[in-house]
Amino acid sequence: MIRQLVPTPVDPNSAGRDFWNRYHQLRRLRHKELRPDDPFEPDEVVEKSMKKPNPFDLQHYYEISRDGVMVSWFHGESVTPANPEYETNKHLFWADAYVRVEERRKGIATLWLPVIARLMDERGSTVVGMHTDQASGHAFLTWLGGKPKLTDIESRLKLSDVDWSMMQRWNDEGATRSPQTKLEIYDGPLPEAMLPEFAAQRTTLLNTIPFENLDIGDIVVTPEKIRHYYEVTALTGEVPHEVLTRESDGSISGMTDVSWYPYRRKMLEQQFTGVRPDARGRGLGKWIKAAMLLHVRDLYPDAEWVVTENAESNGPMLKINRTMGFKSYRTAVEYQTTRDQMESRIRAV
């Protein structure tokens, strides 16, 4: 039966309504199965972001459908030569697949392996990464020869449980302990003139994140990439918020960002938080996180949760988050395997 199933590339910009209907139907099933408690990303938001050209990351979309019903979806990602991360990331390919529950264990995900292999060969990639928080995903990725490389914990903070007097104290103590340091808050895109300095400092800080054993190249943020991100937020309605600290010489020493989305008003997303290594140990991390939480509480009175993700090994960040009241919600594992290992799997099928 599965012999008749053919992986077919999808171009979001030329795909017709039939495609979007069967794709959104599969997205709903996936959401109901894997993320029932999370807000659902609306169809028009997904369509807009998939249609938006991305000069920095190539998106590879494929479907397997039968009689007008999508059975499986595949999404791959790889860096483009225009991405300043290209040199250190071009050996990496990232992949994600989903198969309808009633169509599993028939070898359908296995049909993606030659597709991934060909895309990797075209890009010159030698390592493929995939992540899962599902028993079926762990079993499939282990069968594929994937090695667990990074454990990621999603944690959630219930705003009604927050000890707000502790947040106020962290905020006040941050300022008292570092009287020379100034805190700044930005709602929406940062001023254009700040982008070069902000991008450079963010690059430094992002590269201090522990990624455990994950094969990952350099992270390079540029003003062009930030502008692209702002173009996407303008399409999707996402509102970014930034809290940062500046030392007396004017340099940025810490940053934290939270996003609000119109279709997930009850759930804010805590994104990256980083403090420059030479400024650590002065309570800046607690200061910026507390200042951000106090700020978004006032801005969004209907928000109920803040969601964040950290590497399981990220002791300092998890310590701050746990003290704030973030509780572990689910755990995902990033697996990686080589092109060669995948080839032996393809040949064994």
- Measured CA to CA in angstroms, residue 176 lies from 172, 251, 282, 319 at distances of 6, 19, 10, 22
Which member of 99, 157, 226, 306 binds ligand COA (CB under 6 A)? 99
Partners of 239 in beta bridges: 260
> Taking CB under 6 A as the rule, does residue 97 contact ligand COA?
yes
Is 73:63 a contact under the CB 8 Å cutoff?
yes
Q: Which is nearer to ligand COA, 108 or 317 (CB)?
A: 108
Nearer Cβ to ligand COA (128/284) = 128
Looking at residues 288 to 347 of the shown chain, list those that interact with ligand COA (rule: CB under 6 A): none
214 binds ligand COA (CB under 6 A): no
Q: Using the rule CB under 6 A, which residue among 84, 129, 137, 254 binds ligand COA?
A: 137
Pairing type for strands 92-99 and 127-132 reads parallel
Q: How many residues bind ligand COA (CB under 6 A)?
A: 20
Q: Look-up: residue for tokens 């300092």?
A: 316
CB of 26 to ligand COA, least distance (A): 10
Q: Which region, judged by CB under 6 A, interacts with ligand COA, from 9-17, 127-135, 258-266, 281-289?
A: 127-135
| Backbone phi and psi for residue 67, each to the nearest 5 degrees, phi listed first | 50, 45
Quick check: 94 binds ligand COA (CB under 6 A)? no
Nearest-approach distance from CB 66 to ligand COA, in angstroms: 13
The distance of closest approach from Cβ of residue 116 to ligand COA in the complex, given in angstroms and rounded to an integer, is 10
Considering only 43, 47, 57, 96, the residue that binds ligand COA (CB under 6 A) is 96
CB closer to ligand COA out of 102 and 278: 102
Q: Return the closest-CA partner of residue 84 out of 265, 207, 258, 267.
A: 207
Q: Which of residues 102-121 bind ligand COA (CB under 6 A)?
A: 104-110
CA distance 69 to 72: 9
Q: Are 296 and 268 in contact, with CB atoms under 8 Å apart?
A: yes
Task: Write the DSSP assignment of 119-161 as a string of letters.
Answer: HHHHHT--EEEEEE-SHHHHHHHHHTT-EEEEEEEEEEEEGGG
Residues contributing to the site for ligand COA (CB under 6 A): 96-99, 104-110, 130, 132, 134, 136-137, 139-141, 143
